[in-house]
Structure 1
Amino acid sequence: MLTVWAILIDGFIYASWLFLVAAGLTVIYGVMRILNMAHGSLYALGAYAAASALGWYYAQGGDQLWIAFAIIAVSAILIGAISGLIIERGLLRLMYGRDEILMLIITFAVLLILEDVMKLVWGTTPYFAWQPYAAMGRFNIDVLTVSQYDLLVMALSVVIGLGLWFWLERTNMGKILRSIIHDREVSEAMGVNVRRMFTITFMIGATLGAIAGGVTAPIISVVPGIGVEVIVLAFAVVVTGGLGSITGAAVGAVIVGLARATSIHTMPELELFIIYAVMATVLVFRPHGLFGLAAARKI
C-alpha cells in the first residue's frame, strides 16, 4: 500500500510539472499550427532568468519567501514575453502559410541558436537557486516525506489549466481564437486581425514555457541542455493527449506521470522507455492522440 501511495504522489507531482511544460506548446500548436521546437529553449530561458535573479536577491541578504516567488514570476514572464515577441515578429511572421514541416525546422533552428546564446550569456557553469525549495520545507505522510514546494507546483498547474480553459471557452478573445482554429480564412474575411492574434498567442505560449522553467529552477541545477531534454518530454505529453488540446495535455501529463512513477518504484531501469511506450501505445489506437481530432480536408 505504501508503494501505491508513493506512486500516486510522485506521479501527480511529475504530471503537474509536465503539464506546465506542455501547456504553452499545445496552445501555440492549437491556434497557429506550429510545432514549436524552440519551446524547450524558452523553458531554459525562464529557468536561467529566475535562477540568476534569485541568486542576486539572496546574495544581497534577502530572505523573504514571497519576494522570491515574485522574482520568479516577474523574471520568467518578462523573458518569456519578450523572447516570444521577438521570435514571432522577427522570424515566424515571415513564414506564415508555409508547410508545417518547414516551420518545425525553423523553430528547431531557433532552439539551436538560443542554446548557444544562453551559453554566451550565462556560461556553462551550473546555476543553483535552491533557497525557495528548502525554505518551504517538507511534511510527512506516514513514512513518506513530500516537499511543500512540489505541492505549490501542483496548485500552479491547476490554476494555469483552469485559466487557459476559461480564456479559451469563456472570453471574447477565446472565441475569436477558436474561430481562427476552425477556419482561418473565414475569420480574416470577418475582420479578425489574425496576425495580431498569432502574436498574442505566441507570446502567451512562450511565457507559459518560461514560467515552467522559472518554477523548476529551485528544484534542479540550471545547466546548458535542459531545454533539449524538456522538449522531448513535452512532445510525448502533447502527442499522447492530442496536439492542440489543453484537456489532452492535462490527461496526457497525468498518464505519463503515473506511468513514469510506476516504473521508478517497480522497474527503475525502464523509466525512459515507459514514457515513449505509453505514447506509442496511445497512437496505435488513437493516431491523433486521446483528444486530438482529425483535420478536415479543404477542397
Structure 2
Amino acid sequence: METSLLISQLFNGLNLGLLYVLMAMGLTIIMGTMGVVNFSHGILFTFGAYITYSIAAKLGYWAALLIAPVLVGVIGMVLERGLVQRVYGKDPLYSLLLTFGLAMSLEELVRIGWGTTGLPFSPPDSLNTFVDLKIMFYPLYRLVVFGFILLLILALWFFLERTTMGKIVRAGIQDSLMVGILGVNTKALFTLVFGLGAFLAGLAGVLSAPITGIMPTMGDNVIMPSFIVIILGGVGSFYGSVVGGLLLGIIVAMCNQFVPAVAELSMYLVMALVLLFRPRGLFGEEGLFE
C-alpha cells in the first residue's frame, strides 16, 4: 500500500468528516432543544448547493458562500414557524413524519426549479489547483475547506460557550421547559435554533458542491451519516459531533478506497458497536438512551 494513497484518503476522510460535523451540529441542537427528528435537514443541504449554483452564475462563488447559507437559514426559520412548531411536545413520530414528507416535497420542488439531472460545479479559479505536499499533490480547495470548517467549529464553540445567547441555546438543549420558566422566549429561541441548524446545513451544501457536484438527491447521501454521527457522539454533545463526524468520515473514506463493497455497511457497523457498549454515545449524557 502506497503511503501517499493512505495519507490522501486520510485527508479525504477528514474533509468528509468535517462536512458531517457541520450537518450533525445543526441536527443535534435542533433535536436536543426541540425534540424534533429533522429529516428535512438533508434537503436544506441540497438547497445550499443549488442556491450557490444560481448565485455563483451571476455574482461568483465567494458571494454565494456568503449569501446562500443565510438564505437557507431564513428558509429554515420560515419552515419552523409555518410547520415544524406544530409538532413540538408531541410524539417524536409526528416530527419524523412531518419532516420526512417536507423533505420529499422540497426535493420535488428542486427538480421543478433546477431540473432532474445533476449540475457540474467547479471550485473558484483561484482554488482550482493542486498543492505539492511532497509526498502527494492534493486539491487546494479541499485544504481550504478543511481549514475553513475548523475555524467555523471554533467560532461555534465560542458562541455556545462564551456568549449569553450561546449559553441560552445550551440551556435549551439541557432543559427547554426550565428555560421557558426562567423567562426566555422559547418560541423565538426555537426559531433561532432551527435557523442556525439550517444555516449550517446550507453552508455544508455550499462547501460540498464543488467536491461532489450538484444533484437533487445529494441530501440523501448525507442525512443518514449525519444521524449516525449524532448517535456516535451523543445527542446534544458539541464534542461528540466533532469526534463522531471525523471518525465516521475517515472510516467511510478508507472503506471507499480499499473495501468499497462494505463502505456503506461500515457506518452501520460502527454505530452498532458504539450502541452495544455505550448506548448514549461517546459523549452523550446518561439517561438519553439507557
TM-score (norm: length of structure 1): 0.89
Distance in 2, Cα, partners of 1:77 & 1:183: 28
Match of 2:219, SS? helix
Deviation of the 1:111 alpha carbon: 0.6
Q: State the match for 1:124 in structure 2.
A: 116
Query: How far apart, CA to CA, are the structure 2 residues paired with 1:221 and 1:258?
Result: 21
What is the aligned-residue identity percentage? 34
Is residue 201 from structure 1 mapped to residue 193 from structure 2 by the alignment?
A: yes
Partners of 1:272 and 1:24 in 2: how far apart? 23
Q: Match for residue 175 of structure 1?
A: 167
1:207-222 matched pairs, under 5 angstroms: 207-222=199-214
Work out whether residues 73 and 214 of structure 1, in 8 Å CA contact, stay in contact via their aligned partners in 2: no
1:73 aligns with 2:66: yes
The 5 A counterparts of 1:74-113 are 74-78=67-71, 80-113=72-105
CA contact (8 A) 1:39 1:209 kept: yes
User: Structure 1 residue aligned with 2:140, among 148, 165, 179?
Assistant: 148
TM-aligned CA deviation for residue 133 of structure 1: 6.6
Amino acid at match of 2:121: A
Q: Show CA shifts across 1:219-257 (max 9, x none).
A: 222112111222112112121111221211110111112
- State the alpha-carbon separation in 1 of the partners of residues 219 and 117 from structure 2: 16
The structural deviation recorded for 1:289 is 1.1
Contact map agreement 1:47 1:76 (CA 8 A) in 2: no
SS at structure 2 position matched to 1:146: strand
Q: Contact 2:33–2:176 (CA<8 Å) still a contact in 1?
A: no
User: Deviation at 1:179?
Assistant: 2.5
User: What 5-or-longer segments of structure 1 have no aligned partner?
Assistant: 58-66
Moved more, 131-140 or 187-196: 131-140
Deviation of 1:135 after TM superposition, in Å, equals 4.0
- Return the alpha-carbon distance in structure 2 between the equivalents of residues 41 and 104 of structure 1: 14
Offset, 1:81: 1.9
Looking at structure 1, the residues matched to 180 and 89 of structure 2 have their Cα atoms a distance apart, in angstroms, of 14
Aligned pairs for 1:1-299 within 5 A: 1-57=3-59, 67-78=60-71, 80-132=72-124, 135-295=127-287
Q: Which 5+ residue runs of structure 2 have no aligned equivalent?
A: none
How big is the shift at 1:216? 1.2
Contact 1:133/1:218 (8 A) holds in 2: no
1:168-197 alpha-carbon deviations (Å, 9 max, x no partner): 111111222233233333222221111110
Structure 1's 134 and 222: CA in aligned 2 closer, same or farther, altered over 3 A? farther
Q: TM-score, normalised by structure 2?
A: 0.92
Segment drifting more, 214-223 vs 134-143: 134-143
2:122–2:128 CA contact under 8 A, matched in 1: no
RMSD after superposition:
2.0
Q: Which runs of 4+ in 1 moved over 4 A?
A: none
